[in-house]
Amino acid sequence: MKSRNESDVTLFLIFCTTLVVWLNRGRYDPSVPFLTLFFLKWVHASVWNKTFLPKVSVIFSRFLPWIFALLFLIRNELLYVEPAYLSVSRAMSFFPLIGMAIFTWGRKFGLAGALFWILPFFLTFLLSPSPHMDVFQSNRLAVDFFLHGQNPYSAVYPDIYRNEFDYHPGFLYWPGALYLQTVSQLIFSDIRVVLALGWVIAGFLLREQKKSLALWMTLPILAFGFEQAWLDPLIALGGALALYGIREKKHAYWILGAVLAASVKQYGFMVGLFSVLYCALEYGIAGVRKSFWIMAGAFALVMLPMILWAPHDFLQMTVLTHTSAKIRPDALNFTAFWLKMTGAELPNSFQLLAIVLGLGLAIFHVVQNGHVRRLKVVPEAWAIFFGFSIFFGKFAFCNYYWLLISFWIMAESEDVDKISTSREILRPSI
Structure confidence by residue, pLDDT tens digits, 226-282: 999 999 999 999 999 999 999 999 989 999 999 999 999 999 999 999 999 999 999
Helix, strand, coil fractions of the chain, as percent rounded to 5: 75, 0, 25
Q: How far apart are CA 221 and CA 272, in angstroms?
A: 26
Please say whether the dihedral angle defined by the alpha carbons of residues 112, 114, 117 and 120, taken in this order, is positive or negative: negative
The whole-angstrom distance between residue 218's C-alpha and the CA centroid of its chain comes to 15
User: Is the CB of residue 36 less than 8 Å from the CB of residue 358?
Assistant: no
Cβ neighbours, 10 Å, residue 189? 10
Is the entire prediction scored with pTM above 0.75?
yes
pLDDT range class, residue 10, cuts 50, 70, 90: confident
Q: Is 101 exposed, middle or buried (0-12, 13-18, 19+ CB in 10 A)?
A: middle
CA nearest 317: which of 139, 158, 171? 171
CA dist., res. 96 & res. 196, Å (int): 15
Contact between 66 and 100 (Cβ < 8 Å):
yes
* Segment (H or E) for 10: helix 4-24
Dist CA 244 CA 219 (whole Å)? 22
* Tens-place pLDDT, residues 67-95: 999 999 999 889 999 999 999 999 999 99
Determine which of 7-16, 57-66, 237-246, 280-289 has the lowest per-residue pLDDT on average: 57-66
* 90-94, long-range: CB < 8 A, 24+ apart: 92/119, 92/120, 92/123, 92/127, 92/223
pLDDT at 283 over 60: yes
List all residues 6 or more positions away from 48 whose beta carbon is below 8 Å from its beta carbon.
none
| Cβ-Cβ contacts under 8 Å for 8 (sequence gap 6 or more) | 51, 53, 54, 55, 56, 57, 60
For residues 233 and 105, the model is more confident at 233
Report the pLDDT value the prediction gives residue 1, as an integer from 0 to 100. 42
- Of 307, 321, 297, nearest to 134 by C-alpha is 321
